Structure 1
Amino acid sequence: MRDRDRHVTEISRLDPEVDYQRVYRLTTLYEFPFDVALALQMSFYRTYAIPSISATLAASGEIAARPVKRGEDTGLMVFEIVEHGFEHERSRRILRAMNAMHRKWDIGQDEFRYVLGVFLVPPMRWLEVYGYRKPLPQEYTAAYRFYRELGERMGITGVPGSYAEFAAWFDAYEREHLRPTPHGKALLAASHQLFVNRFPPRLGFLGVTMGNALLDDTLRRVLGVTGPPAPVRWAIRAAFRLRGRVIRLSDARQNSAFTPDGVTPGYPEGYTLDRLGPP
């Protein structure tokens, strides 16, 4: 057996209905850590194109005032739970903080359900296109079970009964609700800083170019994104697909890609759980 296949072999032997936390952890933090982190960031931009959600995000002021912290905090909270499992005390603290944050706002169950779907459906679709391999059936099921449990712990009701059903519901919701708004465009402009931070100071514009190129055409239209030109978009997307083929030739990760309390661009000295979320 090639070393590259070690996690695939384990995943294929696990029951995703029972071992979904283990399967999703392997998928997210061992098999596709870069892809999932970037896909989660990109997929969150979809919420900017839903008028009711973008209005709430704009009213909170967090993205406009602290775009890097807001973006990083969302990912760190999710990865804390992925790394430790739902019953760990760190995860329980994260969930209490998440529920407290959301109680401050009048958010409907459809909006909650959609945001839950944002963390599930687009990242799996990203892996289908840019991952070094296609997700296994067990990984779709495990990802769905993970987010269904997250939804239950957040009081989200009416979650569809499978990944396929959730994906169908998600697409139908977007067909009905995706609309351009000034809030959405402003939120995306603020969030560009997350990509700018991935490059040296004088090359920050390349981050904006990359981020805009990776948005799908529907989202680009709704959020009013015009650049970069089509040939540049094609080249950037092709480079990400090529990256997947190169990774296919490398060995599998031996350790989790996530470091609790680790260093990030927004937390150069490391974060602590009490610093995650709005002040």
Structure 2
Amino acid sequence: MTLLVFYGGLSGLTYLITVYILRYRRVRSIVEKHPPSQGTDGKSASDYRMTPAEAQRIIWTSSLYDHPMLVEKSLEFALFKTYGIESISKLLLSTGQLSKGINASRRYVDTAILIQTWVHVPITGPGSGNEEPPRGADPRGAIAVARTNWLHSKYTIVGQLASNDDYLYTLSLFILEPAKWIEKYEWRSLTPLERQAYFVFWSEIGRRMGINNIPETIEDLVEWCEEYERINMVPSQTSKTVAELTTALLLYHVPPFARGFGKQAVAALCPERLNRAIMVPEPPIWVVKSIDGVLNLRKLFIRHLCLPRFSPQCFVPFDTTGLGTPGVCPIGVSVCPISSKENSNGVVYRLHPSYANNDPWYMPSPSGLGKIAAEVLAAFRMRNPKAAPGPQFRHDGYRTEELGPTSFEKSGRKEVLANAEAMYGGKITGPWAF
């Protein structure tokens, strides 16, 4: 018995040491590969210099491996935070894309796909540090930015114009919120190198979207963002309406009996200034403590007991390099590729998200055990039976250049392609050409 306890304890200790060594291996590696500028101590984000392409690869350590869930949620709440700005909420409400459930859920998923594609498809072209895209380089990132630019231009044409400061504020949240969430809730904080990488990469995305007056350092951006919020994040009925519509999407998978608590949990995750702006009462202290307690337990569990992730976790298909290679079918591709942008039947390649955020937009129809599981969940009211993958949710998948409102699906192709190729750094060919 004593021997059994000894070997059990030794095995447990060995496992804990293994977790510690492996869990920090990836972040140590990127820090070693990117030393701070000469004459600096590396303690400040501004001590590091890098190209946007290098910055993106550094970001992947946290967004794909170390903190994928928190990075995704921080970006979702970054968008939610913009609803505390009346001018932004007024614009969103005027589009009509939030007032109807199926429109709102599609906009939510389309936005997630576009953002995840910007972040996780290698950036190329002028200003990226990877000026000449290698042969066969994935163009989806450039297409996603170009599609976003085109969609924004449609609302500019009809007079629904967001100011440069509104766009800059949204961009600043994409840079700053992941670090805040990771600092508070994850098993490790971002290093100064990683914080600078978020700033450099997203600043380049901002330039590609035509956003002007981006501060030159992350420290200046923090000051600008704080001043903008102080002036513009004030109580507004419009902000309250948009926040309520979006909260319903955030709580999509929460059973009806728990949604009251879910709304309080959302409020607990929001800063006090935002709750005032969207006219939401501060949640009870026990809710705040409960949320913090659960997330802190998760932090400790992952840090000490979980081996690191060995494959990337991403909402959109991360690697489609197998496209065009006979016999290779990347996960998430609905049509097995042969050699070009269409298969022998003339069907274009489409992609599926890795999972459903709310309504199952672009998810394939389940079969076998997946279909049985869906029926069981619906029977126990854990899932809306009307929200099953099918034609109404485009179960054949998505194309990046078609994302957006239904009325715009087939519009803007020439403009999007021209803008995408300019950012990509060359002609777009292969399965994602259009």
TM-score by length of 1: 0.93
**Equivalent position SS for 2:298:** helix
Q: Residue 94 of structure 2 is aligned with which of 48, 59, 78?
A: 59
**Counterpart in 1 of 2:141?**
91
Of 7-16 and 269-278, deviating more is: 269-278
Q: Deviations over 1:205-258 (max 9, x none)?
A: 443232122111111112111153122122112221221121112111111111
**Counterpart in 1 of 2:40?**
none
Letter of the 1:35 counterpart: L
Q: Would you say 1:69 and 2:106 are equivalent positions? A: yes
C-alpha separation in 2, matches of 1:157 and 1:197: 36
Q: Residue 150 of structure 2 is aligned with which of 96, 100, 105?
A: 100
Q: Within 5 Å, which residues of 2 pair with 1:85-234?
A: 85-87=122-124, 88-103=138-153, 104-105=155-156, 106-226=161-281, 228-234=283-289
Do 1:198 and 1:204's aligned partners in 2 also have CA atoms closer than 8 Å?
Answer: no
C-alpha separation in 2, matches of 1:73 and 1:245: 34
**Counterpart in 2 of 1:278?**
405
C-alpha separation in 2, matches of 1:206 and 1:143: 33
Percentage of pairs with the same residue? 27
Letter of the 2:105 counterpart: V
C-alpha separation in 2, matches of 1:164 and 1:10: 26
**Counterpart in 2 of 1:257?**
313
Q: Deviations over 1:14-57 (max 9, x none)?
A: 33613201011221111111101111111212211112111111
C-alpha separation in 2, matches of 1:224 and 1:165: 29
Q: Deviations over 1:147-204 (max 9, x none)?
A: 1010011011110112221111111111111111111000111011222223235434
- Alignment root-mean-square deviation, CA: 1.9
Letter of the 1:76 counterpart: I
C-alpha separation in 1, matches of 2:219 and 2:244: 32
Letter of the 1:96 counterpart: A
Do 1:24 and 1:142's aligned partners in 2 also have CA atoms closer than 8 Å?
Answer: yes
Do 1:195 and 1:208's aligned partners in 2 also have CA atoms closer than 8 Å?
Answer: no
C-alpha separation in 2, matches of 1:126 and 1:22: 20
Structure with larger RCO (C-alpha < 8 A, sep 6+): 1
C-alpha separation in 2, matches of 1:36 and 1:198: 19
Do 1:195 and 1:204's aligned partners in 2 also have CA atoms closer than 8 Å?
Answer: no
Do 2:272 and 2:282's aligned partners in 1 also have CA atoms closer than 8 Å?
Answer: no
TM-score by length of 2: 0.61
C-alpha separation in 2, matches of 1:14 and 1:82: 21
C-alpha separation in 2, matches of 1:165 and 1:278: 36
C-alpha separation in 2, matches of 1:276 and 1:7: 34
